Amino acid sequence: MTFDLTPEQDQLRDAVRALGRRYGHGYFVEKAKAGEHTTELWAEAGRLGYLGVNIPTEYGGGGGGITELAIVCEELAAAGCPLLLLVVSPAIAATVINRHGTEEQRKRHLPGLADGSQKIVFAITEPEAGSNFHRLGTVARRDGDDWLLNGRKCYISGVDEAGHVLVVARTEDASTGKLKPALFLVPTDAAGLTRSKLDMEIVSPENQFLLYLDDVRVPADALVGESLDAGLPALFAGLNPERITVAAMGAGTGRYAIERASEYTATRKVWGGRSIGSHQGVSHPLAHAAVQVELARLMIQKAATLYDSGRDLEAGVAGNMAKYAAGEAAALAVDTAVQALGGAGMTTEYGVATLLGAVRAGRIAPVSREMILNFVAQHVLGQDKSY
């Protein structure tokens, strides 16, 4: 057992950290408040190969795994630039297409995902069903050689930046008559696909949308995989990378907040010549938050290692635990940083309160802490299913 990164992973971490700090949290917040996207950072990360670290080399990627992509997510977040679309496009979409798409789909989409020139977002959540794919109302039906999609999706990130959306729908199994999940690559400019922006109390350059699919027609090759049998494994293929990279982004955000607060409390002097950080009432909460972030990072490393080793079932447990731990740690770290900075903590200038909405959302999405506890109770502790 080793906790050391390989020399190549160490170099990746250092390089991504340098890129993120060159842009910084000020850039991130400025873009978000102007209603703009982090286009320059995304494009440069793509040119440097960071967006495609988990994509095979034959499709223009770096040939690494989710471990490497988690490093990219964490280090950009630790520099104050937590990019949600790293989770959606390289982690979910690229993994699904690489593992379960056709060769033509891999050739068509993976090179663009690797260099950042293409983004594919993910649409599973619905107003009524949430993320419960057993109750999804979005249905795909055959119409000649094409498919017709109808339904609604909500909280879909980055649709306005993407060329395609990976839609989870249900199709009728001809042999059984039962509905089964399937994934479709739908162009965001497809006829019948409309969107409505959701106003969120989160400082982020990435927007959330409601999607409406009204007889959206796509060709047969929009179906991910060679047949409908690819649907369920393709859906689950994206979930572990999603959990792990979201967790990495949370851990990076926690590191960023603790670093900002530590710099402030080590130099801020109010009573005499001692820094406020010399008082345990200030330093202990920050130290506690730092411990929680580091524990989350260890679970993220374990989950990513299991996933990259092909141990999907074990990675599912570890990935959910990592997401839970990182969500709690990030929320604690940012809240503790705000408290340590006092009034300054609530200003835009000091760059920690700007993350409150995002880390609070991290305890809800992409899977809530309560559903993770249900998962652990059932699959680890052997308890009866509670829902």
Query: Could you read off the pLDDT of 88-118 as tens digits, one per residue?
Result: 999 999 999 999 999 999 999 999 999 999 9
- Tokens 């060769």 appear where? 103
Structure confidence at residue 356 (pLDDT): 98
DSSP string for 356-383? HHHHHHTTTSSS-HHHHHHHHHHHTS-P
pLDDT over threshold 80, residue 133: no
- List Cα–Cα distances, 65 to 51, 292, 300, 341, in angstroms: 12, 25, 13, 38
Banded model confidence at residue 2, pLDDT cuts 50, 70, 90 = confident
Helix residue spans in the chain (DSSP H): 7-33, 39-47, 66-78, 85-86, 94-100, 103-115, 231-237, 239-267, 280-308, 312-341, 356-361, 369-379
Per-residue pLDDT tens digits for 293-312: 999 999 999 999 999 999 99
Residue range 6-27: mean pLDDT, rounded:
98
Strand partners, 217: 148
The pTM of this model reads 0.96
As a whole number of angstroms, the distance between CA 189 and CA 163 comes to: 8
- DSSP strand pairing (164-172 vs 179-187): antiparallel
Banded model confidence at residue 128, pLDDT cuts 50, 70, 90 = confident
pLDDT over threshold 80, residue 173: no
As a whole number of angstroms, the distance between CA 195 and CA 238 comes to: 23
Structure confidence at residue 175 (pLDDT): 62
CB half-sphere exposure, 327, CA atoms < 13 A = 22
As a whole number of angstroms, the distance between CA 35 and CA 212 comes to: 23
Banded model confidence at residue 284, pLDDT cuts 50, 70, 90 = very high
Residue range 154-183: mean pLDDT, rounded:
88
Residue range 45-53: mean pLDDT, rounded:
98
Residue range 50-67: mean pLDDT, rounded:
98
Per-residue pLDDT tens digits for 323-377: 999 999 999 999 999 999 999 999 999 999 999 999 999 999 999 999 999 999 9
